[in-house]
Amino acid sequence: MSRVYDITQPLRTGIPVWPGDTDYVEDRVWAIGPDCPVNVSRLTLSTHTGTHADAPLHYDEAGVPIGAVDLDIYLGPALVLHMPPGLDRVAVAHLAGRVSADTRRLLLRTYASFPHDAWDSAFTAMDADAIDWLAGQGVRLIGVDAPSLDPQTSKTMDAHMAVRGHGMAILEGLVLDAVPEGIFELIALPLRLATADAAPVRAVLRVIDKT
């Protein structure tokens, strides 16, 4: 039996969200009782709550919605790398010599311990040059434990624009605390929200059996 790492944030009341975005709310609209045989809940949340996949539509008015993205990139071998905690941005220097030419999916751990209970406005972002360099190496998906590839205060979203230019895919809000460096099988399918700009994912990494 292969070991599986669940790298998804638990969606729950009180989960930290991007400042000004929609809080997660879960309401029980039906409850098991004498006149009702089931529990049914209503959810209110942002498409960017917790662990999620950005669609091109998020940063490109003409981009495809998450319900139309190619799913292949969210399935397959992924390289996990640990960055030094406390970085302002991940630069090419932090990646050079560590990403092989056959890497198509790269996941970056930047937190020593993921901040489940409080919003961190000083999360580690990505240099646009690093995105360009990764694309040149053949990387097609970049995943981070931060809530965004760009700093919270960015208005130009340079890293997202670099992703747009190279046709790459993005996963954000991963929880990689328990995952060592190495190559794993990634399974992180976004919900098929037909016209949305992003979607929550249940992201897992499976240890690749080398026997």
Distances (CA, A) of 179 to 7, 27, 126: 8, 33, 20
Catalytic residue from among 48, 52, 58, 160: 58
Active site residue 58: yes
Rounded to an integer, what distance in angstroms lies between the CA atom of residue 1 and that of residue 198? Answer: 32
79 DSSP 8-state letter = E
Closest to 177 (Cα-Cα) out of 148, 207, 205, 208: 205
Cβ 46 vs Cβ 17: under 8 Å: yes
Q: Which tokens go with 178? A: 């328990």
Tell me the one-letter amino acid at 103: T
Catalytic residues: 58
